[in-house]
């Protein structure tokens, strides 16, 4: 299960977040401190992440780009609590991560819809399991179904949907759980260009209006610059973090930003950093 029972403390914290001013917006919410991750494989141990340190402040979006196999999903799994670091520490709200929790919703790289539930039931699953009264979420689920363009197939089963539609069920299910932190692993990769832009715009609005903290992995540099307050460029070898770039464009952002020269310049800069890495790796 992705989302479990919300603790009283978590609810109190998220209420405070909405009430407090910019001061709390500067607080660190997610931190990795000197994190190393080693996997055992048939051909021996491989160290995928070595001495990684970074932090994400409350309400901010960190996008991660990097070549296949550099450890992006591994970072997400460490933050979501599905993996534990070999050394170092991962903290949420200053407390070490001990496992998955209701404060973090994950959209996995692969679809993780429940095949035995309809689209609507997939979205209702989290709030129902948490025992939240229907009146508090029924309308929201309708809104999310509409937003991701799945209203007409709400009573269909996943096997009756296309790959892109299944992905949208995953995304809507994560939103419907209203977590404080969204962890998204290439969520829009399988969507057509128009749907992708709509989803990007909705995500900007959601993260901005509701002060969500977001870690978003993508291969699409334009998407990283559009969504991110910061972009982390990773490389396959230590030090895994090649560069961390502040994205200066104010939020909320409109799709038109993608055409502006400053935006394109930043996209090219990140592209060059990635290609430089490719040349020297």
Q: Summarize as ranges the residues that interact with Mg ion (CB under 5 A).
A: 72-73, 109
Per CB under 6 A, does 14 bind ligand ATP?
A: no
Q: Which does 41 bind (CB under 5 to 8 A by kind): Mg ion, ligand ATP, none?
A: ligand ATP
Residue from 50, 61, 74, 240 touching ligand ATP (CB under 6 A): that is 74
Residue 21 or 41: the one with the smaller Cβ distance to ligand ATP is 41
Residue 41 is a binding residue for ligand ATP (CB under 6 A): yes
Least distance to ligand ATP, CB of residue 59, Å: 25
Contact window for ligand ATP (CB under 6 A) among 70-78, 126-134, 154-162, 199-207:
70-78
Stretch in the footprint of ligand ATP (CB under 6 A) among 3-11, 24-32, 72-80, 251-259? 72-80
From the list 69, 239, 252, 262, which residue makes contact with ligand ATP (rule: CB under 6 A)? 69
| C-beta of 78 vs 266, nearer to Mg ion | 78
SS3 of 62-124: the string is EEEECCCCCCHHHHHHHHHCCCCCCEEEEEECCEECCCCCCCEEEECCCCCCCCCCCHHHHHH
Q: Of ligand ATP, Mg ion, none, which one does residue 71 interact with (CB within 5 to 8 Å by kind)?
A: ligand ATP
For residue 186, the minimal CB distance to ligand ATP (Å) is: 7
Q: Between residues 176 and 274, which has the closer beta carbon with respect to ligand ATP?
A: 274
Is there binding between residue 43 and ligand ATP (CB under 6 A)? Answer: no
Tell me which residue of 245, 168, 232 sits closest to 203, measured CA to CA. 168
* Residues between 97 and 116 with contacts to ligand ATP, criterion CB under 6 A: 109
The CB-of-106 to ligand ATP minimum distance in angstroms stands at: 13
Does residue number 235 form part of the binding site for ligand ATP (CB under 6 A)?
A: no
User: Taking contact as CB under 6 A, which single stretch among the options 1-9, 22-30, 61-69, 169-177 is the one that binds ligand ATP?
Assistant: 61-69
Binding site residues, ligand ATP, CB under 6 A: 39, 41, 48, 66, 68-74, 109
């Amino acid at each position: 299960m992705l989302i479990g029972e919300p603790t009283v403390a978590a609810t109190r914290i998220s209420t405070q977040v909405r009430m407090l001013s910019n001061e709390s917006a500067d607080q660190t919410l997610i931190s990795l401190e000197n994190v190393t991750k080693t996997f055992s494989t048939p051909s021996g141990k491989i160290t995928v992440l070595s001495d990684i340190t970074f932090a994400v402040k409350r309400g901010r979006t960190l996008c991660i780009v990097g070549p296949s196999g550099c450890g992006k999903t591994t970072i997400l799994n460490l933050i979501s609590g599905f993996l534990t670091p070999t050394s170092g520490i991962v903290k949420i709200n200053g407390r070490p991560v001990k496992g998955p929790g209701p404060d973090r919703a994950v959209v996995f790289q692969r679809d993780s819809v429940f095949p035995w539930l309809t689209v609507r039931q997939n979205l209702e699953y989290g709030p129902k399991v948490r025992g939240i009264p229907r009146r508090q979420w029924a309308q929201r689920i309708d809104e999310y179904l509409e937003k991701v363009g799945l209203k007409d197939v709400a009573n269909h089963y996943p096997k009756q949907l296309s790959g892109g539609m299944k992905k949208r069920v995953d995304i809507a299910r994560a939103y419907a759980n209203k977590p404080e932190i969204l962890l998204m692993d290439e969520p829009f990769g399988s969507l057509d260009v128009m749907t992708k832009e709509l989803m990007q715009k909705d995500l900007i609005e959601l993260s901005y209006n509701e002060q969500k903290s977001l870690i978003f992995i993508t291969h699409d540099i334009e998407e990283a610059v559009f969504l991110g307050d910061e972009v982390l460029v990773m490389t396959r070898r230590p030090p895994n973090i090649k560069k961390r770039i502040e994205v200066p464009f104010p939020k909320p952002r409109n799709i038109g930003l993608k055409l502006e020269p400053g935006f394109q310049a930043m996209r090219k800069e990140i592209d060059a950093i990635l290609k430089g890495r490719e040349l020297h790796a």
